[in-house]
Structure 1
Amino acid sequence: MSSLINFPRLLISAQKGGAGKTLVSLGLVSALSSIGSNVIPFKKGPDYIDAGWLAFAAKRPCYNLDPFLMSSEIILSSFLSHAASDAIAIIEGNRGLLDGVDVQGSCSSAQLARILKTPVILVLDCTKVTRTLAAFVKGCQVLEPDLIFGGVILNQIVRLRHADIITRSIETYTDLNVLGVLPRLKNFSFPMRHLGLLPWQEHGEGEVIIKILTEKIKENVDLDKVLEVAQNAPSFSSSVPIFWPNREKDVKIGVFRDEAFQFYYPENLEALTALGAELIFLDALRDSSLPSLDALYIGGGFPETQAEYLEANSSLRKDIKEAALAGLPIYAECGGLMYLGRRILWQNKAFDMVGALPIDFEVGEKPQGHGYVKAKIVAENPFYPLNMELSGHEFHYSKPINWQKGDFSLVMKLSKGHGFYQGYDGVVYKNIFGAYTHVHVLGIPVWAVGLIEAAKKWKEGLTFDFRNICQDQTLVLNGINNFIKS
């Protein structure tokens, strides 16, 4: 049954990546919170690091909305289940407003704004440009006439005359107002890594960064007008919020969450919890032993930057290897996959890892895989049904070395993306499933079901073929609200 929804919301976008939309989004989230607004952050795309900073600034989870990974209906339902009528939803876009996976701009921030009927505020990098920005803004309006544009924020302004020319140009040639003018920040350093921000978990001075951005936004942006844009967002019709059946907790799933492993979608963890998992959060750097578990989930991150500490924790690595070889179900994504290997080679040093997989991983200076993934399950495995098609994403600077065919199976054939080796991903050994591909449960609900069912079977201590458990699940994959039949 549909209902009319009226949630204040806006989407922060830009003319390109690196224009400052993340810093503006962080500053707006914190600044609006500081004046009494209830702010709920969202991130467009598969990004973990920006979403992590937004969650840090808002002091609440940041949810991802991605037209590539999930349908329009799922995006609406997810937004509806997390937004609120008494809050301001701030959605940070990615790349340029119109940049998608093809010439039509499919899966762009603009497409997400259309799906959610959300006003767009453009952040413009004003470095070495003036009146041309008016042409850019006008061009966006012409190319995307169905979008709702709420205004413009100028970034990297060096002097008043610079701001005046750009402001008058935009307000003369378009019907949009300039809502803020941000000066070029002096003596401000935001460490970067791999084309993006350093994760807040590794930064060490996150509170200082957020405080600086909050002050700059409050000093230079008209927050009243920003709130007005958000509050004037049109109502739209949507299905009911996502419903996860709240089942009794009957399995324990370990989740590593520390400086080395940080990349988890909140929705993935929420789905596991709702479907019956008690999540046991672990620290791969400091916990000396592995507790009794029914399954293990190791997300992505930067294990290479923490490799010395991971190596030093030999007792935990030994426990994990023994559990893996005994058949404990383990799902590992990217950094987690690297951790399960023999060694990580980085900056001319080699660090011992768990050793459950007969693979070394070498971290280089250039991306080995970066972007969206399309794959098909082509061999039996512990978690996914055979012939299932799935979407995901990858972003890794490491590659596997010193391994032999036949030591394990590769069960995912990629039609888009790089993966583990020559268009294949999904390393399966015993009941380990490791992949460079990250998945989002709202696009692939069977992921959560498979992990829960594998944990239940392990807990029961049954001797059986894990490869067939997914064939016994009764799934409805056409809608998230009823995808599991009791």
Structure 2
Amino acid sequence: MQADIPRVVIAGTHSGCGKTTIASGLMAALVARGITVQPFKTGPDFIDPSHHTLICGRPSRNLDVCMMGETGIRRTFAAASTGADIAVIEGAMGLFDGMKGSDTASAAHVARILKAPVILVVDAHAVSRSIHAVVRGFRDFDPRVKIAGIIYNRIGSDRHRQMIAEEEFVPALGWVPRQPESEVKSRHLGLLMASESPAMQTYGRVISETCDLDRILGVARAAPPLNVPAPVAQKTHAARHRPVIGVARDAAFCFYYQDNLDRLARAGAELRPFSPMADTEPEVDALYIGGGYPELHAEPLERSRCRQFIREREEAGMPIYGECGGLMYLSGSLEADRTYEMAGVLPARAVMTKKLQALGYVKGAFGNRPGLWTGTVAIRGHEFHYSRIECDPEVRFAIRLGQGAGIGNGNDGLMEYSTIGAYTHAYFTDAFCRRFVAAAAAFKKTAGKH
């Protein structure tokens, strides 16, 4: 089937050129015009999509070839764009930067898959005529990628703009001046989350004043029809039979792929957000605790009675799945500025480090071990953390990795009872979701007998 979705990739020459600010500002400017924008981000990032989602009022989706495959890219893109007037896709890193120095999973790769024109963000700070050599190189590097226009960022003055414009040969669609007061601050895992900084939202005014929105819309509307796979069939489940999976959603746990949540719902789960920092005992049949910043919120996590609730449910056999920050929280303790008591579900302690411990894609599989509710299913994902896990002797692991660091020695997915905690931020398969939901349903049935 074909889909006629106006779309554009906002890519950069390199990380730090300002593409996230400009892409988010463009989304805000279009929304201010009354245009419905569906946002996307290439790669495995969680933080930039949080800004997109807040701005557009629609969940931003990741488009990652390594985790999703090309068919998955098209399917997610088409399904998420339903009802939108335009799709704006923010690229990761430089336009042609892919996995291990290759083209694979680069923004250019995604642009080719989606037949999407590219608007290139170029940092013009401290350069004038020489910038055209950069633009020409990007334009000619891969003829399969259509660079339809340039947004020049960090323009110093009108004279600076004039010097660049004198030899323009790729259409300039924007001249954005330096805006140091609007920059979003960063921490060890990237920019601040959208809930922590409103700067991206306010940048829409800057883009409206300095970029040609009508021409940008024209670029997006010129994208050719896209062949997309048929949508995945949706199953219906009676509400009273749907097991409830509690999803940790607060300042400490905020890293989730929207596709994962959708797949769990499609597999038959009701998803119910809860906060491990709050003194609450959610009525749930399973728990999914994603990544985030437990190290920044260790004190309220330690104080919360939710720790005791989770220990009790673990001992009762509730299925619990935690990843990265969730793994750290499920451990016995977390060592940051001091040692904090955590949920104490997994026989290990988490230790924050000053150096990056792992960064990259992960491939592996869940093993078929007694009591392991996942069964033997493949796992793909990404890892990025500044911590390590020190395990007790004689621990068991659920995942064996063929690629990636995991917890150590090719192992990930520390397990205890029906709880699994992994460093991998997994892109869930349908098979994994069916097993997770089935385990939640089995616990719901068992718990209902008592």
Q: Smaller-chain TM-score range? A: over 0.9
Q: How does 1:110-125 map to 2 (within 5 A)?
A: 110-125=108-123
Shift of 1:189: 4.1
Q: Give the match's secondary structure for 1:384.
A: coil
Q: Conserved in 2, the CA contact under 8 Å of 1:78 and 1:242?
A: no
Name the CA shift for 1:132/1:383 in 2 (closer, same or farther; >3 Å).
Answer: farther
Q: 1:451 aligns with which of 433, 436, 440?
A: 436
Report the identity percentage.
37
How many residues are aligned here?
444
> Quick one: distance in 2 between partners of 1:85 and 1:339?
38
Q: How does 1:273-422 map to 2 (within 5 A)?
A: 273-286=265-278, 288-313=279-304, 315-347=305-337, 349-380=338-369, 382-386=372-376, 388-401=377-390, 403-406=391-394, 408-422=395-409
Q: Which residue number in structure 2 is paired with residue 237 of structure 1?
A: 227
Letter in 2 for 1:253: I
Letter in 2 for 1:282: F
Q: 2:416 aligns with which of 405, 408, 429?
A: 429
Q: Report whether the alignment pairs 1:194 with 2:208.
A: no
Q: Which residue number in structure 2 is paired with residue 221 of structure 1?
A: 211
Q: Give the match's secondary structure for 2:66.
A: coil
Q: Give the match's secondary structure for 1:93.
A: strand
> Quick one: distance in 2 between partners of 1:289 and 1:212?
35
Name the CA shift for 1:448/1:324 in 2 (closer, same or farther; >3 Å).
Answer: same
> Quick one: distance in 2 between partners of 1:211 and 1:373?
33
Shift of 1:195: 5.1
Q: Which residue number in structure 1 is paired with residue 446 of structure 2?
A: 461
TM-score calculated relative to the size of structure 1:
0.88
> Quick one: distance in 2 between partners of 1:129 and 1:179?
18
Q: 2:176 aligns with which of 161, 182, 186?
A: 182
Q: Conserved in 1, the CA contact under 8 Å of 2:252 and 2:297?
A: yes
Q: Conserved in 2, the CA contact under 8 Å of 1:327 and 1:430?
A: yes
> Quick one: distance in 1 between partners of 2:8 and 2:381?
26
> Quick one: distance in 2 between partners of 1:429 and 1:183?
54
Name the CA shift for 1:231/1:84 in 2 (closer, same or farther; >3 Å).
Answer: farther
Q: Which runs of 5+ in 2 are unaligned?
A: none
Q: Which residue number in structure 1 is paired with residue 29 of structure 2?
A: 31
> Quick one: distance in 2 between partners of 1:266 and 1:419?
23
TM-score calculated relative to the size of structure 2:
0.94
Greater shift after overlay, 31-40 or 288-297? 288-297
> Quick one: distance in 2 between partners of 1:103 and 1:259?
34
**Which whole-Å deviations, capped at 9, do the CAs of 1:343-400 have from their partners, x for residues lacking one?**
11112x11111111121111122211111112233452634333x4321101111111
Shift of 1:106: 1.0
Q: How does 1:40-189 map to 2 (within 5 A)?
A: 40-84=38-82, 87-169=85-167, 171-172=168-169, 176-189=170-183
Q: Give the match's secondary structure for 2:76.
A: helix
**Which whole-Å deviations, capped at 9, do the CAs of 1:45-78 have from their partners, x for residues lacking one?**
1111101110011112111111110111121111
Q: Give the match's secondary structure for 2:281.
A: coil
> Quick one: distance in 1 between partners of 2:250 and 2:362?
26
Shift of 1:167: 3.1
**Which whole-Å deviations, capped at 9, do the CAs of 1:412-443 have from their partners, x for residues lacking one?**
222322111133211111101110101123xx
> Quick one: distance in 1 between partners of 2:29 and 2:294?
33
Q: Report whether the alignment pairs 1:264 with 2:256.
A: yes
> Quick one: distance in 1 between partners of 2:39 and 2:222?
18
**Which whole-Å deviations, capped at 9, do the CAs of 1:230-270 have from their partners, x for residues lacking one?**
11111122222233323334211111101111111222112
Q: Which runs of 5+ in 1 are unaligned?
A: 463-486
> Quick one: distance in 2 between partners of 1:86 and 1:423?
43
Q: Conserved in 1, the CA contact under 8 Å of 2:333 and 2:344?
A: yes
Shift of 1:159: 1.9
> Quick one: distance in 2 between partners of 1:371 and 1:281?
28
CA RMSD of aligned residues (A): 1.7
**Which whole-Å deviations, capped at 9, do the CAs of 1:260-296 have from their partners, x for residues lacking one?**
111112221122222221222111112x232332111
> Quick one: distance in 1 between partners of 2:309 and 2:411?
29
